[in-house]
Amino acid sequence: MFWQQLVNALWLGSVYALFALGYTLVFGVLDILNLAHGAVFMWGAFFGLLAVTKLNMPIWAALLVAMLGAGILGIVLDRVAFRPLRKRNAPQLAAIISSIGASTILVSLAQGAFGAQVSRFPFDTLPAQVFTAGPVRVTLVQVIVFAVSLVLMAALLLFMRRSRSGKAMRAVAYSGRISSLLGIDVDRIIVTTFFVSSALAGASGVFLGLAFSAISPFMGAPIELKGLAVIILGGLGNVPGAILAGFLLAATEVFGVAYVSSDFRDAIAFTVLILVLLIRPSGILGTAVERRA
Amino acid sequence: MLTQFLTDIWLVYRSVFEFALIGSALGLSIYITLRTGLLSLASAGFMSIGAYVGALLTIHLHTPLLVSVLAGALAAGVIGLLLGLPVLRLSGVYLAIATIGFGEVVRVFMLNIDNLAGRTITGGALGLNNIPRKTETWHLVLFVGLLIYLFVRIDRSRTGRAFDAIRQDHHVAASMGINVVQYRNLAFVLSALIAGAAGVFSAHLTYFVSPNEYGFNGAVRILTFAILGGYLIWLGPIVGAFILTFLPELLRFLGPYRPIVNGVVLILAIIYLPRGLVDPTFWRKVWRQRGKPPSPPPLETSSEAAP
Amino acid sequence: MTPDAPLLQLSSVTKHYGGLAALNQVSFEIARGDIMGLIGPNGAGKTTLLNVISGLAQETSGTVLFNGGDITSLPAHRIASLGIARTYQNIRLFNEMTVEQNLLLGRHTRTRSGMASSLLLLPRQRREERQLRDDTAALLQRMDMLARRDAIAGELAYGDQRRIEIIRALAADPLLLLLDEPSAGMNESETEQLGRFILDVRNQGVTILIIEHDMNLISQVCDQVVVLNFGEVISQGTPQQVQSDPLVIEAYLGQEED
Ligand SMILES: Nc1ncnc2c1ncn2[C@@H]1O[C@H](COP(=O)(O)OP(=O)(O)OP(=O)(O)O)[C@@H](O)[C@H]1O
Ligand SMILES: [Mg+2]
């Protein structure tokens, strides 16, 4: 029982973490809370699905298509919803509102294009193999989701630490104004940030679509809201924090459901969210933030 | 001839009109928080609390509508007070997120309370659908009328001035002796009371409540009213609610793409009309025939970045 | 409390921002009815001190006594209601409001009837509102600014904005007025006029703490001057005394070499 739950927590946590990574990255670099991140995630799942069903691509290629499609969608999102506000130096709350609008548009577009019903990847997309070790069962899908998510997260962390763009990204996160004085092309970094963050959302969309075998225009909303709990728990803008928090939230949910009650599964995330905000708004890895009314 | 025509129109649009009135009340409930510089997405949650409490009273105790409305508003108001005391210490993004979390907690609670209690209370995902229709059009007109009176009187008092001062610069407001936390709590509780009452009216208008009606999407719809119409004066959210309730009726040809309208309106409004359609400063300037465009953005800026 | 006890008394006030000590063990007093000047090079901690006194920043340690009471850890709005009003280095008027609305807000601590009495249309509230408007009109009249009453604050000329900000602070009938570089951006004659204005305010019984870079203005209005450098008090005395203090001269010279 315990080991089975642990396995479940690990693969689910990897999807949460992958989703939350891009979510928190955009906040870290741009101070934007992008509530359309869940909609991009949903479109990523559909891009992957279309690549498999309409273009007969193998799943690994479909994953790349989904990431590319979601990444480009992210750039468009920035152009339409955020850049005009940035130009005007609009307050932070305006960007939240704009992202909500963008999310509504993306969801209704998907609803119009694909209908409201649930679609799924064909059964033979991945072999339906199951590994067992004693009482623990793991499906091939879960193993792949977990492994590829870890690889993507490691790649992102390396990118942030090692590459020129990654370092520039961190500089912009520290201060956009100083960065541009240092000769960093801030616009390009913003585009990169949106591309990377959205591509990761797209990948997690495909993974969740595969694992739960359910893709619909509304699949973004729950993870969007849970993702909020993850990025708050990890500390807004804190990338390693988001990864850790993703696993933590998944573990809390999985074990909470197993040992307490399944009815309030969805309430766990939001209770965590509100508690963290009240007790430690800077998150588990954050430093104390001065709070004054 | 003309009366016949008007009667026909009334029959066709009466229910849209009623929804627009409920929307106006909800828009006013978010307006009062925006006016103190808070982005709160809790109105849908408060509406849900009011709707359930009011509907349950009507169903089980056969209370008159007025009693249900008062009880529903009060329940939402009490929850608003309990939530506001800790949560309003947060600012900006953090408050927005906390109120989204609150809305979800309410939704999940209404969805699952039956299983926990072991008997039917809220009816789970199906909700309550045997609510008698008690809300009349004139109730809603009177309700919105009372709210307008409330806001007009607030505008003409030190409370209204304090709200505006807090939105524009809460540090300066505090150093002028304005108790920022207390006024924000007042605004938050008013918001909850109004949304709660609107919830009861709505439940007795549609015979129906369910948890998912009031989720995040509900919160967004309400926000759209105030953002399009404007949140600097009470007329704004009412105008916004009427436009956004009637607009989809006129846009039926969009078919399944219809919900897109809300999103497009939200983005266009926040980018091109950051102060909404009803902007007192703008109209005052037009009135005075002076041409300068309205200057800085009304919501507070970067100083709110950290909690 | 004796009438000749100091109005404001700072003891060992210290404020850290991270590792930086913006204020270090600052102690001095302001006597009732005095005009105290606060000078020092850029970044010396002058504005920080005003923020600490008015409650916009919380001191790391030390105590602040005002009018016989301890205001060290009171929130800003409580401090304001005890009779401290202030202006800001970069003018912070409510730009979208009219001058009158700004002043009405300035008088917030002097009014009582809020939402409830307004809803009930209580005569008390109507009387108070009328009184409030009369008071602000009288204040504007006294300061020769009545003509600006209905102007939008953000559209006023710079000098007028400075004046209105001071008048807004005065609307609270404060015991202590804190001014942060009121002459910034003014020309010579405007500054002189401002000096007379400040003396006028003092003659109405208001104690004043004024941050200034203009030494002429300091000499014109101040009874006492405190000099800050790197968060510490390096000199105190009459304007003439501090101007000839070698420590002060050195502090300012040090700045010019940068
Ligand atoms: N909120 C803050 N956070 C961090 N550091 C601050 C903050 N406010 C002030 N400081 C620092 O404290 C020091 C004192 O600043 P302060 O504004 O009080 O100086 P000042 O004497 O008013 O200077 P000026 O003449 O330029 O107005 C400066 O080094 C400043 O950078
Ligand atoms: Mg200063």
How many Å apart are CA C55 and CA C71, to the nearest integer?
9
Compute, in angstroms, the gap from residue C105 CA to the centroid of ligand 1: 27
- State which residues form the domain around C186: 8-83+174-253
B148 touches chain C (CB under 8 A): no
Residues 6+ apart with CB under 8 A from B105: A267, A270, A271, A274, B45
CB distance B304 to A92 below 8 Å: yes
Integer Cα distance of A284 and A286 in angstroms: 6
Which atom of ligand 1 is nearest the CA belonging to C57? Answer: 1
* Chain A partners within 8 Å of B104 (Cβ): 225, 266-267, 269-270
Give the per-residue pLDDT at B302.
37
Collapsed DSSP state (helix, strand, coil) of residue A257: helix
Per-residue tokens: B129? 């659908």
* C-alpha gyration radius of chain A: 19
Q: Tell me, yes or no, if B104 comes closer than 8 A to chain A by beta carbon.
A: yes
Which ligand neighbours the alpha carbon of C38 most closely? Answer: 1
pLDDT for residue C1? 52
In this structure, what CATH number is given to the domain that contains residue C230? 3.40.50.300
Task: Give contacts of B173 with chain C, Cβ < 8 Å.
Answer: 105
C209 DSSP β-pair partners = C36, C178
- pLDDT value for C3: 61
Residue of chain B minimizing CA distance to C81? B177
Residues B267, A109: C-beta atoms closer than 8 Å: no
Task: Tell me which ligand sits closest to the C-alpha of residue C26.
Answer: 1
Contact residues, chain B, for A84 at CB < 8 Å: 271
Which ligand 1 atom is nearest residue C181's CA?
27
Cα separation of C198 and C176, whole Å? 13
Nearest chain C residue (CA) to B295 = C96
The answer to whether residues C23 and C45 touch, using CB atoms and an 8 Å cutoff, is yes
Nearest residue by C-alpha to atom 31 in ligand 1: C43
Total-model pTM? 0.89
Interchain contact C50–B (C-beta under 8 A): no
Cα separation, A259 vs C98, whole angstroms: 62
Contacts of A88 in chain B (CB under 8 A): 274, 297
Q: How far apart are CA B233 and CA A121, in angstroms?
A: 51
Instruction: Count contacts between A and B (CB, < 8 Å).
Output: 164
Evaluate whether B172 touches B165 at the Cβ level (below 8 Å). Answer: yes
The pLDDT of residue C2: 58
Query: Number of folded domains in chain C?
Result: 1
Regarding the beta carbon of C89 and ligand 1, being less than 6 Å apart is answered yes
Out of 3.30.70, 1.20.1740, 3.20.20, 1.10.3470, which CATH number does the structure's domain B18-295 have?
1.10.3470
Average pLDDT of every residue of chain C: 91
Nearest beta carbon to residue A92 from set B88, B92, B274: B92
CB contact under 8 A, B101 and A103: no
For residues A20 and B192, give the distance between their C-alpha atoms in angstroms, rounded to a whole number. Answer: 31
* 8 Å CB contact of B302 and A264: no
Give the residue with greater pLDDT, C244 vs C180.
C180
Q: Which of C80, C97, C154 sits opposite B176 (nearest CB)?
A: C80
Q: Which of residues 168-207 of B touch C (CB under 8 A)?
A: 168-169, 171-180, 186
This model of the complex carries an ipTM of 0.91
Asked if B177 and C77 come within 8 Å (Cβ–Cβ), the reply is yes
Break chain A into its structural domains and give their ranges: 11-218
Burial of B291 per CB tally in 10 Å (0-12, 13-18, 19+): exposed
Per-residue pLDDT at A127: 78
- The answer to whether residue C60 sits within a structural domain is yes
Mean pLDDT of chain A: 88
Q: What is the pLDDT along chain A (293 residues), one digit of tens a residue?
A: 788 888 889 999 999 999 999 999 999 898 889 999 999 999 999 999 999 999 999 999 999 999 999 999 999 999 999 999 999 888 888 999 999 999 999 999 999 899 888 888 888 778 778 888 888 888 888 899 999 999 999 999 999 888 888 888 888 888 878 888 888 888 899 999 999 999 999 999 999 999 888 899 999 988 998 999 999 999 988 889 999 999 999 998 888 877 766 667 777 888 888 888 888 877 777 653 333 22
Give the model's pLDDT for residue B299: 56
pLDDT score recorded for residue A211 = 87
Ligand 1 atom with the shortest distance to the CA of C213:
25
Give the ligand 1 atom nearest the CA of C50.
18
pLDDT value, residue B286: 72
- How many angstroms from the chain centroid is the CA of residue C212? 11
B226 φ, ψ to 5°? -75, -30
In a domain, C156, yes or no: no
| pLDDT of C91 above 90 | yes
Confirm or reject: Cβ of C47 under 6 Å from ligand 1. yes
pLDDT tens string B242-296: 999 988 778 878 777 878 888 999 999 999 998 889 987 777 777 765 544 444 4
Does ligand 1 come within 6 angstroms of the Cβ of C40?
A: yes
Percentage of chain C lying above the pLDDT 90 cut: 69
Mutate to test the interface with B, among A23, A34, A80, A97 (most CBs of B within 10 A): A97
Report whether B106 contacts B49 (CB < 8 A): yes
Give the angle B133-B136-B139 at the CA atoms, nearest 5°.
125
- Which of the listed ranges A180-189, B94-103, B128-137, B279-288 does the model predict with the highest average pLDDT? B94-103
B248-255 contacts: CB < 8 A, separation 24 or more?
B249/B13, B249/B16, B255/A112
C-beta atoms surrounding C215 within 10 Å: 16
Query: Ligand 1 within 6 A of C48 CB?
Result: yes
Q: Are the beta carbons of B257 and A290 separated by less than 8 Å?
A: no
Q: Do B98 and A277 touch (CB under 8 A)?
A: yes
Residue C46 in contact with ligand 1 by CB distance below 6 A: yes
Interatomic CA distance for residues B34 and B43, integer angstroms: 12
Percent of chain C whose predicted confidence (pLDDT) is above 70: 97
Mean pLDDT across B105-134 = 84
Give the model confidence (pLDDT) of C40-85 as tens digits: 999 999 999 999 999 999 999 999 999 989 999 999 999 999 999 9
Q: Give residue A43's pLDDT.
A: 97
**B267/B223 Cα distance (integer angstroms):** 12
Q: What distance in Å separates the CA atoms of residue B219 and residue B98, rounded to the nearest whole number?
A: 13
Quick one: which of C94, C132, C136, C71 has its CA closest to B171? Answer: C94
Q: What is the DSSP letter of B128?
A: B
The closest alpha carbon to C97, from C149, C140, C145, C61, belongs to C149
Structural contact between residues B191 and B43, judged by C-beta atoms closer than 8 angstroms: yes
d(CA B193, nearest CA chain A) in Å: 22
Query: What's B122's DSSP letter?
Result: S
Mean pLDDT across C190-203 = 90
Question: Across-strand partners of A264?
Answer: none
Residue B34 has pLDDT above 60, yes or no: yes
- Mean pLDDT of the C172-179 span: 96
Residues from chain B that touch C54, judged by Cβ atoms under 8 A, are 175
The yes-or-no verdict on residue C131 having pLDDT over 70 is yes
CA distances from A257 to A4, A8, A226, B106, B278 (A): 13, 12, 16, 19, 49
